[in-house]
Amino acid sequence: MEQITVKLPHKEYNIYIKKGLLNILPETIKENFNFSKLVIITDDNVKSLYGDKLVKSFVDIGINTFCISVLPGEVSKSISVAEKIYKDLLKYKINKGDLVIALGGGVVGDLTGFVCATFLRGIPFIQIPTTILSQVDSSVGGKTAVNLEEGKNLVGAFYHPEAVFIDPDVLETLEEKYISDGMAEVIKYGCISDNKLFEILYEAGDYNNLRNRINEIIYRCIDIKREIVEQDEKESGIRMLLNFGHTIGHAIEKYYNYNKYTHGQAVAIGMYYITESSERLGKTKKNTSQKVKEVIQMYKLPCKIEKINKDKIIDTIKLDKKTRGNKINIILIKEIGESLIETIDMLDLKKYI
């Protein structure tokens, strides 16, 4: 079993990666954590695939276990769903001596993290991520949030889990579009900080060929995130590197009302546009954008939008919560595996799209 420890000034927690981990989890959690009751928060898809069995396994070893299931998808990352969960937790008389598990993708992880950060001003929780995106990225680093009608992740908190348990076997049931979505984040990690990871992705050529190396892929991504988060938990500096491709990506998602491009697709487009531009401006080694494009396409992601309206995308970026006055931080790569933060004037943004 692979293990990574995240060490923050105020908290330390372990991330475990192992194929088949889900099967031995109830005993492991019972032995290693001190708690009375257990609540598993999941979504309806994951519940029927893994949740029901997991609940039964906990009950079988004598743990008083409750299950709360929400509708799959972004629609559940809302204040109203969070409120409903608070009420269920009260009904089950959950307190700080109990334990919550987030079993699902990034939606369940963000929602559960937010609920646990705020319920009784903080109750302990564990992440069991079940999508690529959540296994390589969102379950680590402590960002939790829900959406408002006006935008995504507008209400949230930094709140870390007690542990993260990753079983790559569950990815076998994931739909192909979510595989591609998660691969956008994997490609991001290669681009910003791990040339070797990028080469592995390049040589594999597609996700099928990557399957037997998935533990290593997850490990590499999380270890990069660990290193960055340990240095800059609250994203005042180096953590911004994780936003490579995301500034343009978020604007694309938002501009198309979140129904034309998925997050991963929008990030892939963002990574390619910014790299093509920075290469043109002489800030990125020649041919880097071509390589980025090839890898993006290998993992069935788009790298361009037809007839992009740059001004509208820029207007949307101006509303991004990461914008500061007339300045914005953009993330560029000098070459594959090396990234930097550049603060530019909003007026210069057009050069990068």
Of the pair 163, 170, the CB lying nearest ligand NAD is at 170
Secondary structure E strands in 183-227: none
* Closest listed residue to residue 222, CA positions, set 131, 137, 103: 137
Under rule CB under 6 A, residue 239 binds ligand NAD: no
Burial tier of 258 (Cβ tally within 10 Å: 0-12, 13-18, 19+): middle
Does 138 help bind ligand NAD (rule: CB under 6 A)?
Answer: yes
Beta strands in the chain (DSSP E): 2-7, 12-17, 38-43, 65-70, 99-104, 125-129, 143-148, 151-158, 163-166, 327-335, 338-345
Q: Does 143 bind ligand NAD (CB under 6 A)?
A: yes
Query: How many Cβ atoms are within 10 Å of 157's Cβ, its own excluded?
Result: 14
Instruction: Decide whether 99 or 250 has the Cβ nearer to ligand NAD.
Output: 250
Q: Measured from the CB atom, is 143 or 226 closer to ligand NAD? A: 143
Binding flag, residue 151, ligand NAD (CB under 6 A): no
Q: Does 46 bind ligand NAD (CB under 6 A)?
A: yes
x/- string (CB under 6 A) for ligand NAD, residues 4-43? ---------------------------------------x
The answer to whether the Cα torsion of 296, 132, 3, 228 is positive or negative is positive
Interaction between residue 106 and ligand NAD (CB under 6 A): yes
Number of residues that bind ligand NAD (CB under 6 A): 29
Token code pair at residue 283? 């800030």
Residue matched to tokens 């309206």: 309
226 touches ligand NAD by CB under 6 A = no
Q: Does 64 bind ligand NAD (CB under 6 A)?
A: no
Using CB under 6 A as the binding rule, whether residue 73 contacts ligand NAD is answered as yes
**98 lines the binding site for ligand NAD (CB under 6 A):** no
Least gap, CB of 264 to ligand NAD (angstroms): 7
Q: Is residue 134 within the footprint of ligand NAD (CB under 6 A)?
A: yes
**Matching residue, tokens 């109990």:** 98
Q: Could you identify the residue written with the tokens 């001190």?
A: 34
Distance from C-alpha of 28 to C-alpha of 63, rounded to nearest angstrom: 13
The residues binding ligand NAD (CB under 6 A) are 43, 45-46, 49, 72-74, 77, 104-108, 110, 130-131, 133-134, 137-138, 141, 143, 152-153, 170, 173-174, 178, 181
